[in-house]
């Protein structure tokens, strides 16, 4: 049995390792044109800023793959012949498989802006993007970043670390306010501006200007303002990277359509991670494009391909990030306008720290944290066990990550939130 996996990101690699444990005698090949070895994608920013080497981003030693008999093929896949179970490789030749997992991830969004393909215009997702950024940064005094999400703030910090002046264009009224409640979003507005990064809200890009030699020299906003720049970062979200399958028998929507076992419309072909769109049946299909869900989907896909009967349970939503020096964690449902939801919110009077507990009486359904770190397993357990808000407040100290290294604020938080309840 030969299993081919397209993509060596967290989903593809997790599936390969899982599959090897379950099927020690099968042949497994990871194919990627991006890099020979798996690396930590979230660590790219630290390589650029000089905090890590590329070698340090690799979770496994280079001989891990041969020791575990996981074949690595450095090439791009040009097409999939599903009936013949064959891949066309960019460097030529056919590559046959018995089972296939597509884990091609995401790509930066482009919305047809004039000038979006000029030199000095790019997103930030892949190793190739990082290499382009090194080159583009040498030409750049002023950068404009379009879109206010997690990738945008990372790119801003990277450029800012090289003394490049950065201006954000954010169409919302506050940074990432489509995800964060207004209070937490406001904290990010403040910290961005304190760092000397320009933040223009309620505006978006209309076009990118050409300097006459095919390189970006400025942008024009929808308000008609012209901003001089030598670099434009496109960080207005990502989309499933599914160009590879568009002309194949594999059905697609926004992503590659799969069931909860990651089976596509074609037998023996699976898709998981950022590129997969899980058909939920009657509800809005599920696209999950964060590192944590990519790893979890890889585990299930590996088990399924190995022959186990199992399905993917998304579980309690979790994400974490860092906005410059401000940590963020979210558990469950926050800022989703769930019918009947109520919010309890505490914010430190002088520091950027906050706790938000979202509940539908009496059960807690979400927890949002800024500048405070809580234990993942505790918060997840409270939500999955449908603990009432009184129980959570009584036991809030249990979630404190490490009392030795983090200040405790339960004595301030709990009375303030109880007062809001009354």
Model pTM score: 0.94
Are 325 and 383 in the same domain?
A: yes
Where on the phi/psi map is residue 137: left (φ > 0), alpha (ψ -120 to 50), or beta? alpha
- What burial letters (b/e) apply to 280-312, b meaning 16+ CB within 10 Å? eeeeeebbbbbbebbbbbbbbbbbbbbeeeeeb
Are 56 and 202 in the same domain?
A: no
- CATH number (domain holding residue 382): 3.30.390.30
pLDDT attached to residue 231: 99
Tokens 């992503």, residue? 255
Which of 23-27, 81-85, 302-306, 398-402 has the lowest average pLDDT? 398-402
Q: Higher-confidence residue: 201 or 422?
A: 201
Are 139 and 232 in the same domain?
A: yes
Question: How does residue 149 score in pLDDT terms, banded at 50, 70 and 90?
Answer: confident
The answer to whether position 148 is within a domain reads yes
The answer to whether position 344 is within a domain reads yes
- Report how many domains make up the chain: 3
Alpha-carbon span 260 to 199, nearest angstrom: 41
Vertex 120 angle, CA 117 and 121, to 5°: 45
Which residues, in sequence order, are CB contacts of 176 under 8 Å at separation 6+?
Answer: 148, 149, 150, 185, 188
Are 370 and 413 in the same domain?
A: yes
Which of 81-85, 184-188, 278-282, 373-377 has the lowest average pLDDT? 278-282
Residue 31: domain span: 2-107+239-305
- CATH number (domain holding residue 71): 3.50.50.60
Q: What is the pLDDT of residues 47-76, one digit of tens each?
A: 999 999 999 999 999 999 999 999 999 999
The answer to whether position 312 is within a domain reads no
The answer to whether position 301 is within a domain reads yes
Are 285 and 268 in the same domain?
A: yes
Are 300 and 219 in the same domain?
A: no
Q: What is the pLDDT of residues 101-136, one digit of tens each?
A: 999 999 999 999 999 999 999 999 999 999 999 999
Are 336 and 194 in the same domain?
A: no
Are 368 and 407 in the same domain?
A: yes
The answer to whether position 406 is within a domain reads yes
Are 292 and 336 in the same domain?
A: no
The answer to whether position 327 is within a domain reads yes
């Amino acid at each position: 049995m030969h299993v081919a996996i397209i993509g060596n990101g967290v989903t593809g690699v997790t599936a390969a390792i899982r599959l090897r444990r379950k099927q020690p005698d099968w042949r497994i090949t990871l194919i990627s044109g991006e890099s020979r070895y798996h690396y930590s994608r979230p660590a790219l920013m630290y390589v650029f800023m000089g905090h890590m080497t590329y070698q340090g981003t690799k979770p496994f030693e280079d001989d891990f793959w041969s020791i575990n008999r996981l074949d690595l093929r450095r090439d791009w896949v040009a097409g999939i012949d599903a009936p013949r179970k064959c891949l066309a490789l960019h460097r030529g030749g056919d590559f046959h498989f018995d089972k296939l997992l597509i884990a091609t991830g995401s790509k930066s969004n482009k919305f047809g802006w004039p000038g979006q393909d000029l030199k000095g215009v790019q997103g930030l997702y892949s190793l190739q993007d990082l290499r382009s950024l090194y080159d583009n940064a040498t030409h750049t005094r002023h950068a404009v970043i379009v879109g206010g999400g997690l990738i945008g703030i990372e790119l801003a910090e990277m450029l800012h670390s090289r003394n490049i002046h950065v201006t954000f264009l954010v169409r919302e009224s506050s940074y990432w306010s489509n995800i964060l409640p207004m209070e937490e979003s406001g904290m990010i507005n403040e910290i961005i501006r304190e760092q000397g990064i320009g933040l223009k809200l309620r505006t978006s890009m209309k076009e990118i200007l050409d300097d006459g030699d095919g390189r970006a020299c400025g942008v024009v906003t929808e308000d008609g303002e012209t901003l001089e720049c030598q670099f434009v970062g496109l960080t207005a979200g990502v989309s499933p990277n599914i160009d590879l399958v568009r002309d194949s028998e594999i059905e697609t929507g926004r992503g590659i359509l799969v069931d909860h076992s990651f089976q596509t419309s074609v037998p023996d072909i699976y898709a998981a991670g950022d590129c997969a769109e899980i058909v939920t049946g009657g509800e809005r299909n599920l696209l999950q494009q964060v590192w944590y869900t990519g790893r979890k989907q890889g585990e299930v896909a590996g088990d399924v391909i190995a022959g186990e009967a199992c399905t993917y349970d998304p579980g309690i939503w979790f994400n974490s990030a860092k906005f410059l020096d401000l940590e963020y964690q979210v558990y469950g449902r926050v800022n989703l306008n769930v019918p009947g939801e109520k919010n309890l919110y505490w914010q430190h009077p002088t520091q950027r720290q906050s706790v938000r507990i979202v509940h539908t009486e009496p059960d807690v359904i979400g927890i949002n944290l800024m500048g405070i770190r809580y234990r993942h397993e505790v918060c997840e357990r409270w939500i999955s066990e449908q603990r009432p808000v009184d129980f959570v407040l009584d036991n809030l100290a249990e979630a404190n990550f490490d009392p030795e290294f983090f200040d405790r604020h339960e004595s301030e938080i709990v009375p303030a939130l109880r007062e809001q309840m009354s």
